[in-house]
Amino acid sequence: MTQLVQSHILELRCIPEALPYFVTPKAVDENSPLLQQLPHWAACSITQALEFLTPAYKGHPRVMAYVLRVLESYPPERVTFFMPQLVQTLRYDEEQLVEGYLLRAAQRSDIFAHILIWHLQNSSFQELLPVVRQRIIDEFTPKARDMFQREFDFFDEVTSISGVLFSLPKEERRAGIRRELVKIKMEGEDLYLPTAPGKLVRGIQVDSGIPLQSAAKVPIMITFNVVDRDGDWNDIKPQACIFKVGDDCRQDVLALQVISLLKDIFAAVGLNLYLFPYGVLPTGPQRGIIEVVPNSRSRSQMGETTDGGLYEIFQQDFGPVGSPSFEAARENFIISSAGYAVASLLLQPKDRHNGNLLFDSVGRLVHIDFGFILETSPGGNMRFENAHFKLSHEMTQLIDPSGVMKSDTWYQFVSLCVRGYLAARRYMDGIITTVVLMIDSGLPCFSRGDPIGNLRKRLHPEMSEREAANYMIRKCTDAYNKWTTAGYDLIQYLQQGIEK
C-alpha cells in the first residue's frame, strides 16, 4: 500500500481528503516515510487539521508542521469557531507549537485575541493559561490594549449586576437592574457583542433589564442597540442577551458547535433544513453571555395564553388550515423539527421540557439550553426521555394530520430527517473530532458512560446508506408520540409549573 501511494504521490498531494488514509496514529508510531510528503500536501479543512492535534498523533513534528500551516492559511476569525478545542490542545502542547500559533494569530486579529482570552479565563486547567493570557496582552499595541480594556470592562460591569441583585428582594430586582445600567458608560464606537463580533453596540436599553428565574443565581436579560459592523450603521436593531453568573456555559458552546457544523453540512449538500445556533460565550469561571433567539416565545409561554395545542395555536397565529400563511408556518415547523431531530439524535439533549423549546414568529422550532447532552440527564430521567428526539403528540398533530403516519407532510418530515442524517454521516469525522478534543475539559457530558463511542455508534459508520436510511426511519417511528415524552412533560408541569 505504501509503495502504491508513493508511486502516485504527486496526484494524491492535491487531495487533502486522502490524508486520513495514511496519516494515522499507526503511521506516526512507525514514523512512516509517507509523513515526509506532508510539507507538500494541499491544505485540508480546519476540522480535519484539528483531528491531527489529538493525543493519538503524539505531536509528531511533521504532522504538527502541517497542522500549523493549515491553520495559518485561514483568516484568524475563521479559526475562532474552534477556540475551545484549540485551548484544550494546550494540555498536550509540549513543544509550545499550538501556543505559538495562538499568539501569532492574536497579533493578526484583535477579535481572535479577545475570544482567546475569554476562553483562557474560563478553562478548567489554570497552571499554564494565565501565562498565555498575559503574553497576548503584553503584545498589544497601545491602541489594541485600550480597545481590549474598554471591551472587557464594559461587559464585566454588565455581568456584575447579577451580584448586586442577589441581596435584593425579588420585587425590587428589575428596578435594581435599571439603576445599575444607568451607571454604565460606553466609550468609543468599536465595542461589540462578545457572542457576535460582527454586531457593534450602540447603546443599552436601560429599561430592558429583566431578572430571570433561577434557584440560587440571578441571571439577567439586557437588550442592546446594535448595528452590523459591515452594514448600514444607521440601521440600529435590538439584540437581547442573557448574562449568567454561577453557571458553566462551555457545554452549551460544544452543543451549539455541533449544531452549527450540521447547519453548514445541510447547506453544503443543498438540504432545506433549519437550525439556529445562537451565540454563547463563556467570559470567565462560571460566567457567560447567551444571545436570546429573536422574535421567539417558549412553548411554555405560549401555553400561558391559550389552552389549545400547537395545532390550534398555529391556526390562531397564522390563519386556518389550508391557508397559505398556515401552510407556510407548518412547512417552517417541519424543516426545523427535522433539523433538530438529526441534531438531537447525535447530541442526545435531555431536559426537553416546553421551557426549552422556542417557536419564532414564522413557526420555526428552536432548541435551547444544553445542560444535559450525550450520556447525562437530570436526575437520571433517561427512562422518561428515551426517544432519540422530542416528537410530542401536539407536534405530530401539526406534522401528520392523518394521525397514523400516512400523510404527505409526515413523509416529508421523515424524508428530511433521513437526508439530514445521511449528510451528517458523510461528515462524521469532523463532528466527532470537535467533540473528542473536549474530552479532558471536565465538562459534565464526559463524566459517565462512553460518550464518544456512543456518538460514533449513533452515526453507524458500518452501515450502507440504505441501512442508515432505514435506521433513521425507525427512529422517527419510535419517537412518534412516545408516551414517555408526554410523561416527562407532565412531571415538569407538576414539579416546576412548566406548561405542557
- Containing 283, the helix (H) or strand (E) segment is strand 280-284
- What are the residue boundaries of the structural domains of the chain, listed by start? 2-137, 147-245, 250-279+294-496
As a whole number of Å, the CA-based R_g of the chain is 24
Task: Work out the burial of residue 14: count CB atoms within 10 Å of its CB; fewer than 13 is exposed, 13-18 middle, 19 or more buried.
Answer: exposed
Q: Which residue, among 283, 287, 221, 277, has the nearest Cα to 254 in the 3D structure?
A: 277
Which CATH superfamily, name and number, covers 250-279+294-496? Answer: Phosphatidylinositol 3-/4-kinase, catalytic domain (1.10.1070.11)
209 in Cβ contact with 181 (< 8 Å): yes
Cell of 46: 480546519
Decide: pTM greater than 0.95: no
| The CATH number of domain 2-137 is 1.25.40.70 | yes
Q: CA triplet 365, 291, 213: central angle to 5 degrees?
A: 85
pLDDT tens for the chain, residues 1 to 500: 445 555 565 666 677 777 777 788 888 888 888 788 787 788 889 998 999 998 888 888 888 999 999 999 999 999 999 999 999 998 888 889 999 999 999 999 999 999 999 999 876 666 667 888 899 999 999 999 999 999 999 999 999 998 888 888 888 999 999 999 999 998 888 999 999 999 999 999 999 999 987 655 788 999 999 999 998 888 999 999 999 888 888 999 999 999 999 999 999 999 999 999 999 999 888 889 999 999 999 888 887 777 788 999 999 999 999 999 999 999 999 999 999 999 999 999 988 788 889 999 999 999 998 988 998 877 654 455 567 888 888 899 999 988 888 899 999 999 999 999 999 999 999 999 999 999 988 899 998 889 999 999 999 999 999 999 999 999 999 888 664 444 444 444 434 444 54
